[in-house]
Amino acid sequence: MSLAELAGCLEERFGERSKHDVPLGRLTTYRIGGPAALYLEPGTRSDLEAVARCLQSAGEGVPVITLGRGSNLVISDKGWPGLVLRLAPRAFSFTRPGDGPDSLVAGAATPLPVVANWTTRRGLSGLEFMIAIPGSIGGAVRMNAGAHGSETSDTLATATVLDLSSGELTERKAPELELSYRHSNLTEQEVVLDATFELVPQTENEVRARLESFRKHRGETQPPAVQNAGSTFKNPAGDHAGRLVEAAGLKGFRVGGVEVSRLHANFFVSDETATAQDVYDLVHEVARRVKEDFGIELEPEVKFAGEFEDRSHT
């Protein structure tokens, strides 16, 4: 069971669409990190079912990750040692009315601001918080993305999920996903294909006013969506990670090419010299200092993918 066997199976099914050594940095908001050993953009459900069959027969033990818009991910400088799947936007980026009068079905590759604008134009409330989050619907379901007091779980009704370990396609009701603060029970083997939301009808003006106020607030309080992955740490109960990082005197604190934003202390912003290891080291050093100063353990919200060196004990 090896990477080579998996590559062979994928090549047989997908020909040149199955790629090797594809740089991933450009597919993430941090713009850093190495290549994917194997890379494929599935364009249909049956493509994904074929990937599942290859994984079952040839790739057991090969790590798989689904990449959305890469806005919550730090990919290792060494890259990803297995298969990266990125749902082809032409097939998986769409918005359409659902069965109910106030419902929306969105493909997993749909950018969140597209969804916020679609619902706003129809006077449907619940997803306007997505206007300034540079992720996709698949990433938002997996992470239970949220902002301004709302989160994905508030309006999510169902998600269509393909389990790569069995090839099984299921429609999961939102409670089955055990969504909580920036968490779901989805594993790396489970790919979200689309999601259905039940929204609240209001006037377009009401929804738009909220959307615009969220957009304005973002522009004033956070760095733009490049060279960072949004909030680095989850907020601990009853507090804000950014407040703690700032109170520890770490605004502007830097490791290599990455620094704690001076605008918002929970955003860590990279420059063109940054490595993924720099992000990893900064995250661990900031967490260590906050623990030392306040006794509070900060948990990263950003996900590290691939191999990193733990230098905290050296």
Q: Answer yes or no: 182 catalytic.
A: yes
155 binds ligand FAD per the rule CB under 6 A:
no
138 binds ligand FAD (CB under 6 A): yes
Judged by CB under 6 A, does residue 145 bind ligand FAD? yes
Q: Give the interface segment with ligand FAD, choosing from 136-144, 204-212, 235-243, 291-299 (CB under 6 A).
A: 136-144
Q: Give residues 48-107 in contact with ligand FAD (rule: CB under 6 A).
A: 65-73, 87
Which one, of 231, 233, 298, lies nearest residue 264 by Cα? Answer: 231
The answer to whether 131 contacts ligand FAD (rule: CB under 6 A) is no
> Is 270 a known active-site residue?
no
CB nearer ligand FAD, residue 12 or residue 271? 271
Tokens of 265: 């202390």
Task: Please say which residue, 203 or 221, places its beta carbon nearer to ligand FAD.
Answer: 221
Q: Could you tell me the smallest distance in angstroms from the CB atom of residue 192 to ligand FAD? A: 4
- Which residues sit at the interface with ligand FAD, rule CB under 6 A? 29, 65-73, 87, 108, 133-136, 138-140, 142-143, 145-147, 182, 186, 191-192, 225, 228-230, 303
Catalytic residue set = 182, 231, 301
